[in-house]
Structure formats: structure tokens, C-alpha cells
Amino acid sequence: KGVIDDWYKTNMTSYTLQLEDTVFCNDRSYTTSGSALYFGAYTRLTTNKTPTLKCQNTKDKFTVDASNGNGALTYPVGLITADEIAYAGGVNRTINSSFYLYNNEIQWTFSPSDISGPYAYEFNLSDSGNLLVSVVSGGGRVARPVVSLKPGITVTGGPGTAESPFVIS
């Protein structure tokens, strides 16, 4: 979270008035089976195949303002959830390099998967374009910050690449 906040401070503070204080859901609901603990996203996406955009628990609704969530964020920025990737076309353990989130990089999500034995697992978007569960580790993954524009804000410019970015007006 520190890396994302630093990115926001450096690149986005001049746009804060144009951004919505969106709920970034870190669903920490869980079930257990034997010695394993399975978080809500694991059950929804690997077992039931039913993604959702609803955030069940107020304590998991990360926002800047406590009136619409937990008020734990400094800036209105977070990470994409595994459920959002599923709605965009990412499927658990199914390669898909033709949907708009694919970019040949391994990306962290905001969705925990499970804890089994001594390891914690997190959902990520793989470099093959599929939704995968991987051991939480420090290397080889990127964090792509997510922000939400307020209604009525327009976007112009290029396709959103570093060479031709979107322009918020």
C-alpha cells in the first residue's frame, strides 16, 4: 500500500477533486476446511464461479471517507479485485490474452485466496492472462493502481499507454 500511496502522491494529487472515493473491497470473509482457511474470493471464483461486486463487510470497504466505508485510506486509490478481473474476462486457470486487462505482466490483486500450512496465497492476473492463485512473495509482480472518476468527468487522449496516456479533463 505504501508503494501505491507514493505513486498517488507523485502522480495524482492534482486530480483528487475529479476522483470518486470508491469502495476498494478487500473481502476477508472466510471459511475453514481442515487446517486451511479459504477467503471469500476463493470460494466465489474457484468453487462456485460466481464473482460479485458487493462488499459484504463494512470493515473490508476501504475508502477515504468513513461515511461510505471504513475510512482507512489516505488517498482514493487501490488495487483491482479478483472478482473485477473475472467480470472483465479473466478466468481461474484459463489463459486469455485477448481481454483488455491482459498486458503480459503478473499483477497483484486486492483479493486474498487462502492460507494453507505456512503459506498465504493471493489472487493475481498472470502473465498469460489468467486468474491464478500464488504464494504471496515480494518479487516478480506489479501493482497497478486503480482509481475511479467522478460522474461527468471526461477522458480524452490516446489508448492509455505510457507513450499516449489518457487525459482527464
Percent of the chain exceeding pLDDT 70 equals: 99
- Residue 151 scores a pLDDT above 90: yes
Count CB atoms within 10 A of the CB of residue 52. Answer: 16
Closest to 24 in 3D by CA, of 108, 138, 64, 151:
64
- Residue 169 scores a pLDDT above 80: no
pTM attached to this predicted model: 0.88
Alpha carbon 131 to its chain centroid, in Å, reads 12
Mean pLDDT score of the chain: 92
Q: How far apart are CA 73 and CA 5, in angstroms?
A: 9
Contacting residues for 45 by C-beta, under 8 A, at least 6 apart:
51, 82, 83, 86, 92, 123, 131
Residue written as cell 476463493?
Answer: 42
- Mean pLDDT, residues 94-103: 87
